[in-house]
Amino acid sequence: MTTTTLNHDEAHHHDMPTGWRRWLFSTNHKDIGTLYLLFALTMLFLGGASAMLIRLELFQPGIQLLDPDLYNNLVTNHALIMIFGAVMPAAAGLANWMIPMMIGAPDMALPRMNNLSFWILPAAATMLILSFIVPFFPGGGTQINTGWTLYPPLSVQVGMSMDFLIFAIHLLGISSVLASINIIVTLLNMRAPGMTLMTMPMFCWTWLVTAFLLILVVPVLAGGVTMLLFDRHFGTSFFDAAGGGDPVLFQHLFWFFGHPEVYILLLPSIGVLSHVIPAFSRKPLFGYKSMVGAMLTVATIGMVVWAHHQYTIGMSLGAVTYFMIGTILISIPVGLMIFNFIATMWRGAMTFETPMLFAVAIVLMFTFGGLSGVMLAVVPADMQYHDSMFVVAHFHYVLMPGAVFGLFAGVFYWLPKWTGHMYDETLGKIFFWTNVIGFNITFFPQHFLGLAGMPRRIVDYNMMFTEFNVISSIGAIIFGLSHLLLLYIVIKTIRGGKKAESRAWEGAKGLEWELDSPPAFHTWTVAPQIK
Amino acid sequence: MKFNNNFKRQVNHPMSVTQQLINNQSYKLKTTSLTGILVAGVFFADKCRAEYGINFPPPAADVAQEIYNIHMLTMQITTVLLLIVFGFVFYSLYYHRKSRGFQADQDFHNSWFGNWSWVVVPVMVLGVDLTIAGKADAVLKKVWDVPKAENILDVKVTGHQWWWEFDYLDHGIKVESRYVPEKESGDLYLREVDNRLVLPTGQKIRFLHTSADVLHAFWVPELAVKKDAIPGYVTETWAELNREGVFRGQCAELCGTWHSRMPIVVESVSPQQFATWVDDQKAIKVAAAAEASADKTWSMDELMAKGKTLYDTKCAACHQVTGVGLPPAFPALKGSAMATGSIEAHLEIVIKGKEGTAMQPWGSLNDLEIAAIVTYERNAWDNNTGDVVQPSDVKQAR
Ligand code: HEM
Ligand SMILES: [Cu+2]
Let me know: does A333 contact A269? Beta carbons within 8 Å. no
Q: Say what the alpha-carbon torsion angle A405, A406, A412, A417 is, to the nearest 10 degrees.
A: -160
Domain hosting residue A397, numbered range? 33-514
Each residue of A113-129: pLDDT tens digit? Answer: 999 999 999 999 999 99
A315 is a domain residue: yes
User: What percentage of chain B's residues is helix, strand, coil (to nearest 5)?
Assistant: 50, 15, 35
Interface of A with B in 427-486 (CB under 8 A): 444, 447-449, 451-453, 455, 457-465, 467-468, 471
CA distance A466 to chain B (A): 9
pLDDT averaged over every residue in chain A: 92
Question: In terms of pLDDT, which residue wins out, B383 or A222?
Answer: A222
Among candidate residues A176, A93, A78, the one with its CA nearest the CA of residue A128: A78
Q: B289: helix, coil or strand?
A: helix
Q: Which chain A residues have a beta carbon less than 8 Å from that of B161?
A: none
Cα of A262 to ligand 1 centre, how many Å? 8
Rounded CA separation A339/A438 (Å): 26
**C-alpha A325 to ligand 1 mean position (Å):** 14
What pLDDT was estimated at residue B305?
81
> Measured between CB atoms, which of B108, B214, B224 is closest to A283?
B108
A45 burial type by CB count under 10 A (0-12 exposed, 13-18 middle, 19+ buried): middle
Contact (CB<8Å) B257/A69: yes
How far apart are alpha carbons A29 and A27 in whole angstroms? 6
Instruction: Give mean pLDDT, residues A352-359.
Output: 96
Mean pLDDT on A258-262: 95
Q: Please, which residues bridge with residue B235 across strands?
A: B209
CA dihedral A217, A219, A225, A229 (to 10 degrees): -170
Query: In this complex, how many residue pairs, one in chain A and one in chain B, have their CB atoms less than 8 Å apart?
Result: 307
Q: What is the pLDDT of residue B312?
A: 82
Give the per-residue SS3 of A13-37: CCCCCCHHHHHHCCCCHHHHHHHHH
- Give the model's pLDDT for residue B36: 43
- Ligand 1 first shell, C-beta below 6 A: A 149, 262, 265-266, 308-309, 327, 330-331, 334, 370, 373-374, 376-377, 382, 385-386, 391, 394-395, 398-399, 402-403
Q: Is residue A432 part of a domain?
A: yes
Q: What parts of chain B have a pLDDT lower than 50? A: 1-51
CA of A394 to the centre of ligand 1 (A): 7
Report the residue among A148, A221, A267, A309 best suited for mutation to probe ligand 1: largest number of ligand atoms under 8 A from its CB: A309
Q: What distance in angstroms lies between residue A310's CA and the mean position of ligand 1's atoms?
A: 11
Name the pTM for this structure. Answer: 0.88
The distance between the two most distant Cα atoms of chain B, rounded to a whole number of Å, is 98
Query: Would A10 be classed as within a structural domain?
Result: no
Please tell me the total count of domains within chain A: 1
The nearest alpha carbon in chain A to B86 belongs to A364
pLDDT at site A160: 92
Question: Is pLDDT larger for residue A381 or for residue B392?
Answer: A381
Q: Is A5 inside a domain boundary?
A: no
The residues, ordered by sequence, that sit 6+ positions from B103 with a Cβ below 8 Å of its Cβ are A349
pLDDT digits (tens, 9 = 90+) for A62-102: 888 888 999 999 999 999 999 999 999 999 999 999 999 99
pLDDT of A107 > 60? The answer is: yes
Contact A157 B356 (CB under 8 A): yes
d(CA A86, CA A79): 10
The minimal CB distance from B358 to the residues A157, A379, A457 is found for A157
Position A519 in a domain? no
Ligand 2 center from residue A253 Cα (angstroms): 13
For chain A, state the CA radius of gyration.
23
Phi, psi of B198 (to 5 degrees): -85, 125
| Domain-embedded: residue A4 | no
Ligand 1 nearest-atom number relative to CA A311? 16
CA nearest B91 in A: which residue?
A346
CB proximity list for A495: less than 8 A, separation 6 or greater: none
Chain-centroid distance, C-alpha A487: 18
Across A408-424, b (16+ Cβ under 10 Å) vs e yields bbbbbbbbbbbbbbbbb
Residues 6+ away with beta carbon under 8 Å from A501: A517
Q: What is the ipTM of this complex?
A: 0.90
DSSP string, B130-173: HHHHHHHHHHHHHHH-----TTPEEEEEEEETTEEEEEETTTTE
> Which residues make Cβ contacts (< 8 Å) with residue B383, sequence separation at least 6?
B323, B333, B334, B335, B339, B340, B377
**Of A93, A163, A173, the residue nearest A131 (C-alpha):** A163
A11 is a domain residue: no
Who wins on pLDDT, B304 or A531? B304
Q: What is the pLDDT of residue B16?
A: 37
- Residues of A in Cβ contact (< 8 Å) with B210: none
What whole-number distance in Å separates Cα of residue A353 and Cα of residue A425? 7
CATH number of the domain residue A168 falls in: 1.20.210.10
Residue A12 lies in a domain: no
Tens of pLDDT along B315-337? 887 888 888 887 777 888 888 88
**Average pLDDT of the residues in A311-338:** 94
> Is the distance from CB of A357 to CB of A379 less than 8 angstroms?
no
List the strands of the sheet with B197-200, edge to edge: B197-200, B263-269, B245-250
